[in-house]
Structure 1
Amino acid sequence: MKMPQYGLNRKTKSSSYKYIPLIVVCLWFFACSFYCTQQIALLYNYHPYLGGHVYSNLYLPWSCFLWLQDPDLDHNSIIKIIDDGSLYFVFPLILMFSVLLLTGRRGKGRGDLHGTAKWANKKEIKKSGLLGGKGAYVGGWEDRDRSTIYLMHDGPEHILAFAPTRSGKGVGLVLPTLLSWEHSALIFDIKGENYALTSGYRKSLGQKIIRFEPNDTTGSTAKFNPLSEIRINTIHATADAQNIANMICDPEGKGLRDYFDRAAVAFMTGLILHTVATNQDGSLADSVAFITDPRWADDVKDLFSFIIDETDHAKKLLETYPEMAEDTAGKLEKSIKSYAGECLIKASKELSGVISTAISNLSLFRDVIVAGNTSSSDFCFDDIMDGETPSSLYLIIPPSDIDRLQPLIRLFFNMFLRRITERMEFDQGRSIDSHKHRLLIMFDEFTSIGKLEITQKSLAYMAGYGIKFYFIVQDIK
């Protein structure tokens, strides 16, 4: 079985080089034979009897062997000259092969034992496609005349940059990329610097600029309600709600660790569906307000009785969405009441633990600032890659609020990546671009938002949807 080749591919010498020693030996034998022939001819003073001359006093190189068989010539003298010529032939060959043997043994070691990495030359850089002059900046290369040539990557592959703090990653990679990338972009902007320095220019290119800062108190941020992405009037409603519930109940991306986490997912799925079905503009803040309503203070099971007995979800859905199929509305109502019924049959203490877990995971949306900025949506995910013009969405999170807002950040990215990779179109058996615009996702300080499992799983196929990730991390730890 052939072992895989790792490292850089080195050009090997042509196999024809192995014939060089044989050619050298033949030429040296030819020269020594010529020497012996001329010495014998000189001994006989170039007598006409010798014959075989080519020109003047020059004879054919192998004539010495023919003269050795001539009984009329002095064999002893001829043999002595041939013996001398043999020494001239053998000793240099012994010396040459000794040198080749020594150098050959030294060269049998692994030439790439300590790695094959090296600085690329211009030909190799050009072959890699980094001199195209468009795309994302990945570095620079100094030409022979000391001028700097910027290296830019525009292929479908993703980019990972290691850049320690204060190493110039912002001015060297991030800003130049955002000022040159012509397509849509989603920028995770911790300090807000990228928005301040690049949004104006990108807007001048005709792009739609969206600034989403969940903790903004000035009213200048765009709003985003995660529940507005639930396609409540379609058969996808339950799946959309389940995805949101899973992310909320697993805020750190460590998995659903115990029974109460898993049970809270089912409870929250039904709660989210109830919220959106009864209120077109319902938000997660509305959900947490509903389950903490004083009406259920005496007996929390009254909440589920209210959902099952006193709420006509199908009627409300059909009033809000006239185009919705009655069958779809009926099935969705049945699903909502099923989730409520599951909670209604639980023991009081068990149910109390499930609800407490859900409320704990929704606590972020009890913050009036976050609740206000997630109460409605000024944009939707389809705007980013399928709008009339490319869009640039800046997600701004101050460093002081990263830990607190981490659940919302992870929820946002998880929902976004799932939505834009839902469909893939094909033409004659080959995949084609499913979206109008390509998308660059600039992830500076990627590790700060915790484990994002959807990113890990989707990297292999994201390029097929026209999505290019640009990860920037400080180290591998």
Structure 2
Amino acid sequence: MAPPGSGKTAAVAVPNLLNVPSSCVVLDIKGELFDLTAGYRQQVLKNKIFVFDPLGNDNTLKFNPFDKRIVEKLDFNRKRKLVDEVGNTIFAEDGANKDPHWTQQAKNLFVFYALYDLCVHNTSTFFEIASAPIKNYVPLINPQSRFYTELYECQSSDNGFVKENGRYMAKVENGVKKMKPNANVELLWYKQVAEQVYTDPENPKNYDGSVNHLEKDDQGNVIMKEGMLDPIIRNEANKWAKANDKEFASIKSVYSRFMQVFTSYQVKSATDSMSFEYEDLRKDNITLYIKIAQTDIDTLAPLIRILLESIAKNLLLKESKKFEERVYLFLDEFVRFGKLPFLLEMPALSRSYGVVLIFITQSNALIEKYYGREDAKIVNSTVAYKIIFKMDDLEYAKQVSEEIGKMTRKTRSHSTEKGQLITGGTSSIGKEAWDLLSAQDIMNIDKDEVIILVSGHKAKPLKLKANYYFKNKELLSRINWEVKSNEEVFDESKKVV
């Protein structure tokens, strides 16, 4: 923790990135850490290098939490949990713009679109989900569905609509199917999904009334069979089909506001697949630099939060105590990307999972501003080490001084009777509490020094010289190495045996 220009990046982030051999995830707003350390990490520490900069020209990472390789391993409950967690991260209001009802409804709509895709297609993308309220639903109305006859003028006889191979036949005029002029195609799709029994849209049982004759257990729950669509999705589709038009329009307006970033073609390209699976961070050596321009932070903050939380949560699915499987998260200026409550709690959870978090920020006041005082206390109480540089924050300096504690020292006082200047009077010896390290001591440390507090030993703070990379000849020899393509460095077929 240190104010701008005090050297927290030069003395903490850079030296560690030039030494830690295993996988790292690096918040690198300025791109400075990439420029200084990526080449050495790639060529000497043998890390595959990825840059996540969706709106920049140097993006090399694909990130999609709904990628098929991830989703196809999940059952319905885990799919639902995944979309719910992502939805919570996207639809997070700041204090000034809270509108809980509309935001929650917009999030519910997101969960419906995403969960339907994951159950039916085992994949989706942010672009597809963001575009769901405005996409063309005409091709999705199945010719086997009774709602097909509400979309098109269909061939009929005295006995009703004509079917061929179980499909309704639309009338054709000038080579084009004749649509009914006032058909609400989106509404018809919600109604169709509300009757969909199986995940395969082509299954005839979706359209023969089977939804009204599903086998149930003693508690009235549908007995799920292989390939069936969960009733939760049907119920949600039915809810949206019956939604008030005006209210639904308001919900979709809020939805579009939150999902706007995902309609960018650059973001679409960066999120249409997955460069690696989360577990690859343990199996392989990978360094991911999240490099976002200052002007793009507000726009991309939801996506960055999803990326960080997805990585963090998936690394906590399996314990690992092997040193070579450790994964380091360098979270420089993490407060800039909005609230990440899960990451704040990770120091208390991550030790047995081999995940090491390094929080880097300008002041405790910034954490309190974005997270609140109680969450700031969580960070301060759960981290194992605190590295404190010279600061100007008196309140936090007092807090650190209180954490370190006090010592007891003897005091002696002497008093004299009135009119007696030299002789006479009494002396007394007492005890008083004295700061081991005062707030002024902390605020006035040398700019080349740091104070390190170790959890469980805070009464014995360490005052050490800061390890600035630019004052270390060995570290200077490791910076600014050329970064090559991963294929060029790690392509096994090109290596000479």
Same fold (TM over 0.5): yes
For 2:345, give the aligned amino acid: K
* Alpha-carbon separation, structure 2, partners of 1:267 and 1:437: 38
State the match for 1:9 in structure 2: none
Task: Give the aligned length.
Answer: 298
Match of 1:173 among 2, 7, 12: 12
SS where residue 261 of structure 1 aligns? Answer: helix
Deviation string 1:158-207 (CA, Å, 9 cap, x unpaired) is xxxx1221222232221111001122211011111211221121122222
Deviation string 1:297-324 (CA, Å, 9 cap, x unpaired) is 946423412433579524689xxxxxxx
SS where residue 27 of structure 2 aligns? Answer: strand
Match of 1:274 among 116, 123, 134: 116
Q: How does 1:56-205 map to 2 (within 5 A)?
A: 162-203=1-42, 204-205=44-45
Give the direction of change, closer, same or farther, for the CA distance of 1:434–1:348 in structure 2 (3 Å limit): farther
Of the two, which has the highest radius of gyration?
Answer: 1
SS where residue 18 of structure 2 aligns? Answer: helix
Match of 1:286 among 123, 128, 133: 128
For 1:222, give the aligned amino acid: L
State the match for 2:312 in structure 1: 417
Give the direction of change, closer, same or farther, for the CA distance of 1:233–1:173 in structure 2 (3 Å limit): closer
SS where residue 313 of structure 1 aligns? Answer: coil
For 2:63, give the aligned amino acid: F
The Cα shift of 1:381 comes to 1.5
* Alpha-carbon separation, structure 2, partners of 1:375 and 1:328: 31
SS where residue 240 of structure 1 aligns? Answer: helix
The Cα shift of 1:377 comes to 1.3
1:444 aligns with 2:283: no
> Could you tell me the percent identity over the aligned residues?
24
Q: How does 1:381-396 map to 2 (within 5 A)?
A: 381-385=278-282, 387=283, 389-396=284-291
Give the direction of change, closer, same or farther, for the CA distance of 1:185–1:254 in structure 2 (3 Å limit): farther
Deviation string 1:100-131 (CA, Å, 9 cap, x unpaired) is xxxxxxxxxxxxxxxxxxxxxxxxxxxxxxxx
* Alpha-carbon separation, structure 2, partners of 1:233 and 1:358: 26
Gaps spanning 5+ residues in structure 2: where? 139-182, 204-222, 366-497
The Cα shift of 1:345 comes to 2.7
Give the direction of change, closer, same or farther, for the CA distance of 1:178–1:223 in structure 2 (3 Å limit): same
What do you get for the CA RMSD once the two structures are aligned? 3.0
SS where residue 381 of structure 1 aligns? Answer: coil
1:249 aligns with 2:137: no
Is the CA contact 1:238–1:332 (under 8 Å) kept in the aligned structure 2?
no
State the match for 2:345 in structure 1: 457
For 1:453, give the aligned amino acid: P
Is the CA contact 1:277–1:316 (under 8 Å) kept in the aligned structure 2?
no
State the match for 2:105 in structure 1: 263
* Alpha-carbon separation, structure 2, partners of 1:375 and 1:264: 22
Give the direction of change, closer, same or farther, for the CA distance of 1:442–1:222 in structure 2 (3 Å limit): same
Give the direction of change, closer, same or farther, for the CA distance of 1:200–1:334 in structure 2 (3 Å limit): same
* Alpha-carbon separation, structure 1, partners of 2:194 and 2:56: 38
Deviation string 1:25-77 (CA, Å, 9 cap, x unpaired) is xxxxxxxxxxxxxxxxxxxxxxxxxxxxxxxxxxxxxxxxxxxxxxxxxxxxx
Gaps spanning 5+ residues in structure 1: where? 1-161, 318-325, 425-431
Match of 1:211 among 51, 59, 64: 51
Is the CA contact 1:308–1:341 (under 8 Å) kept in the aligned structure 2?
yes
Select the structure that is richer in helix.
1
State the match for 1:345 in structure 2: 242
Give the direction of change, closer, same or farther, for the CA distance of 1:254–1:247 in structure 2 (3 Å limit): farther
State the match for 1:377 in structure 2: 274
Is the CA contact 2:333–2:361 (under 8 Å) kept in the aligned structure 1?
yes
The Cα shift of 1:339 comes to 2.0
* Alpha-carbon separation, structure 2, partners of 1:332 and 1:176: 52
* Alpha-carbon separation, structure 2, partners of 1:271 and 1:469: 34
Per mean C-alpha deviation after superposition, the further-off stretch among 295-304 and 343-352 is 295-304
Give the direction of change, closer, same or farther, for the CA distance of 1:233–1:472 in structure 2 (3 Å limit): closer
For 1:456, give the aligned amino acid: L
Give the direction of change, closer, same or farther, for the CA distance of 1:187–1:328 in structure 2 (3 Å limit): farther
Between 1 and 2, higher relative CO (CA 8 Å, sep ≥ 6) is seen in 2
Is the CA contact 1:304–1:344 (under 8 Å) kept in the aligned structure 2?
yes
Is the CA contact 2:79–2:118 (under 8 Å) kept in the aligned structure 1?
no
